[in-house]
Structure 1
């Protein structure tokens, strides 16, 4: 059996901005890179690990506004992402198998690449990979991967259109 050194439970880079609405709980590791903005207008940001080996990693300049992230394995949020009041879970509290409904579902890592915007009341489900420079519309439910540079929406989420990144270089129009 391999021995893994214990994870430092919390690493916060310089420049964290918040207003007291950030809750970090659980036995795993949470990493907030430099200049993360966790200033939430109404809802609390919740970063929850459910196992000691779980990791939540939030990239530089990410903006969290009332999101809930729950990891049993790994959730990776890239630099310059904006997360509204969404829920991101790398595992479900129940099995997808009818025969095993009372047991928790298996964990599958979630990757959200750089410069992704996720709207309010979005559900990002286990194993989803969201490509860079994409936008996820309000109330979308993501069962499958999202390619880079698109807007997705709906339940289940589907590509609504491609973004023209040549105009601004990113999806913020800067």
Structure 2
């Protein structure tokens, strides 16, 4: 194997009970930054991963402190990891990876964001803006996690690339979408179900398809919390 993967996943009970939720939130806050009023339904899978080259003379070790401040979730968010929805669903997964000597990836989630049974993988930076909704079974990733060719070569880890992903404010991403590395989705967008977003989507539009394309421009959205002088 050309890469060594070490993982630490926050341990939770196998089943979600109402009595466990307060304890689970306290445990989550031990490892990540969570704003006031944020609620978790079910237990997400939160994992920190270190990726190293194989070296017979030096064994790799994951240092948990290196992953401090890797994940931040704003205020009044909702993270769903249950299987009670009428839609296909699973645990939400938040994964930050440290590749070789690079700093660990970071996940930044704004305020009033709802995420339903979605996987987010960061080798560099994934940002989700305020007031956005990510529907069930989506994947958001800033790296493929492997090179296109030569999966078993000794330099595999050195050829893994990553590029930041930014999802703007007030974005709705439909069910079963995939957001690929390097993508920027502008504010006030709607992304149709099953879309594969591999290039930038400008603000104020509807996009869908594989690959996703802009289908319609939307009227300029006005934030009710601002004034004309802002």
Scaled to the shorter chain, the TM-score interval is 0.7 to 0.9
Structure 2 counterparts to residues 98-137 of structure 1, below 5 A: 98=149, 100-102=150-152, 103=156, 105-137=160-192
CA drift of 1:165 comes to 3.5
Deviations 1:29-88 (A, max 9, x none): 110111111134332111111115211011000000111100011100010010012100
CA distance in 1, matches of 2:161, 2:109: 22
| Runs of 4+ off more than 6 Å | none
CA drift of 1:23 comes to 2.1
Match of 1:78 among 105, 108, 129: 129
Compute the TM-score of the two structures, normalised by the length of structure 1.
0.84
Report what 2:143 is aligned to: 91
Report what 2:118 is aligned to: 67
Report what 2:94 is aligned to: 47
Match of 1:23 among 22, 37, 45: 45
Report what 2:36 is aligned to: 14
CA drift of 1:94 comes to 2.6
What runs of 5+ residues in structure 1 fail to find an aligned partner?
Answer: 1-7
CA distance in 2, matches of 1:23, 1:80: 23
CA contact (8 A) 2:172 2:189 kept: yes
CA contact (8 A) 2:75 2:110 kept: yes
CA distance in 1, matches of 2:212, 2:165: 16
Report what 1:140 is aligned to: 195
Which has the higher Rg, Structure 1 or Structure 2?
2
Q: Which stretch shifts more, 33-42 or 66-75?
A: 33-42
Report what 2:7 is aligned to: none
CA distance in 2, matches of 1:112, 1:124: 9
Q: Which stretch shifts more, 138-147 or 12-21?
A: 12-21
